[in-house]
Amino acid sequence: MRLVFAGTPEFAALALRQILAAGHQVVLVLTQPDRPSGRGMALRASPVKELANAAGLEVFQPPTLRDALVQQRIRAAGAEAMVVAAYGLILPQAVLDMPSHGCINIHASLLPRWRGAAPIQRAILAGDQETGVSIMQMEAGLDSGPVLLSASVPISDTDTAASLHETLALLGARLVVDVLARLPLPASPQPEVGITYAAKIDKAEASLDWHRPAWQLARQVRAFNPFPGSTCCLDDVPLKVWRAEAVAGDGRPGMVLRVERDGVVVACGEQALRLGELQKAGGRRLSAAQYLAGTALSPGACCALSGS
Residue 2 has pLDDT above 60, yes or no: yes
112 annotated to bind ligand: yes
Region 216-238: mean pLDDT is 96
Please tell me whether residues 26 and 171 are part of one structural domain.
yes
Q: What is the CATH number of the domain that holds 223?
A: 3.10.25.10
Residue 255 has pLDDT above 70, yes or no: yes
The CA distance from 205 to 220, in Å, is 9
Please tell me whether residues 216 and 147 are part of one structural domain.
no
Please calculate the CA angle 81-171-198 and round it to the nearest 5 degrees. 85
CA distances (Å), origin 100, targets 56, 58, 258: 25, 21, 63
Region 262-288: mean pLDDT is 96
Other beta carbons less than 10 A from residue 104's beta carbon? 25
Please tell me whether residues 142 and 87 are part of one structural domain.
yes
Please tell me whether residues 219 and 183 are part of one structural domain.
no
SS3 117: coil
Q: Where are the beta strands (DSSP E) in 248-293?
A: 256-260, 263-267, 272-280, 286-287
Mean pLDDT of the chain: 95
Residue 40 has pLDDT above 80, yes or no: no
pLDDT band at 43 (very low <50, low <70, confident <90, very high): confident
Region 204-222: mean pLDDT is 97
134 annotated to bind ligand: no
Is the preceding omega at residue 146 within 30 degrees of 0, hence cis? no
Q: Is 33 left (phi over 0), alpha (psi -120 to 50) or beta?
A: beta
Residue 308 has pLDDT above 60, yes or no: no
Which of 170, 198, 226 lies at the terminal end of a domain, its last residue? 198
The CA distance from 117 to 35, in Å, is 19
Q: Which helix (H) or strand (E) holds 130?
A: strand 130-137
pLDDT band at 113 (very low <50, low <70, confident <90, very high): very high
Please tell me whether residues 28 and 87 are part of one structural domain.
yes
Q: Please, what is the end-to-end C-alpha distance for the chain in angstroms?
A: 56
Residue 79 has pLDDT above 90, yes or no: yes
CA distances (Å), origin 133, targets 74, 142, 194: 27, 16, 16
Residue 36 has pLDDT above 90, yes or no: no
Please tell me whether residues 29 and 119 are part of one structural domain.
yes
Per-residue confidence (pLDDT) for residue 41, from 0 to 100: 73
User: Which region among 3-7, 132-136, 257-261, 302-306 has the lowest average model confidence (pLDDT)?
Assistant: 302-306
Please tell me whether residues 189 and 208 are part of one structural domain.
no
Region 43-51: mean pLDDT is 94
Please tell me whether residues 8 and 21 are part of one structural domain.
yes
Domain range holding 16? 2-198
111 annotated to bind ligand: yes
Rg of the chain's alpha carbons, rounded to an integer? 22
Those residues with Cβ within 8 angstroms of residue 204's Cβ, 6 or more apart along the chain or in another chain? none
Number of domains present in the structure of the chain = 2
Please tell me whether residues 255 and 176 are part of one structural domain.
no
Which of 154, 178, 198 lies at the terminal end of a domain, its last residue? 198
Residue 28 bridge partners (DSSP): 4
Per-residue confidence (pLDDT) for residue 307, from 0 to 100: 58
Buried/exposed 86-97: b ≥16 CB within 10 Å, e otherwise: bbebebeeebbe
Which of 163, 180, 198 lies at the terminal end of a domain, its last residue? 198
User: Which region among 262-271, 282-291, 298-307 has the lowest average model confidence (pLDDT)?
Assistant: 298-307
Region 92-117: mean pLDDT is 97
Residue 212 has pLDDT above 80, yes or no: yes
Percentage above 90 pLDDT, the chain: 93
CB-hemisphere CA count at 13 Å for 260?
12
Q: Where are the beta strands (DSSP E) in the chain?
A: 2-7, 25-30, 35-37, 42-44, 59-60, 81-85, 103-107, 115-116, 130-137, 147-154, 197-198, 230-234, 237-247, 256-260, 263-267, 272-280, 286-287, 303-304
Please tell me whether residues 6 and 103 are part of one structural domain.
yes
The tens digit of pLDDT for each residue in 164-208 reads 999 999 999 999 999 999 999 999 999 999 999 999 999 999 999
110 annotated to bind ligand: yes
Residue 162 has pLDDT above 70, yes or no: yes
Per-residue confidence (pLDDT) for residue 37, from 0 to 100: 74
Q: What is the CATH number of the domain that holds 166?
A: 3.40.50.170
Those residues with Cβ within 8 angstroms of residue 308's Cβ, 6 or more apart along the chain or in another chain? 233
Other beta carbons less than 10 A from residue 171's beta carbon? 20
The residue type found at 273 is: L
Quote the pTM value.
0.93
Expressed in percent and rounded to 5, the helix, strand and coil fractions of the chain are 25, 30, 45
Cα four-point dihedral sign 39, 10, 147, 84: positive
Percentage above 70 pLDDT, the chain: 98
SS3 92: coil
Please tell me whether residues 32 and 122 are part of one structural domain.
yes
Other beta carbons less than 10 A from residue 204's beta carbon? 8
Please tell me whether residues 186 and 215 are part of one structural domain.
no
Q: Phi first, then psi: what are they for 124, rounded to 5°? A: -70, -45
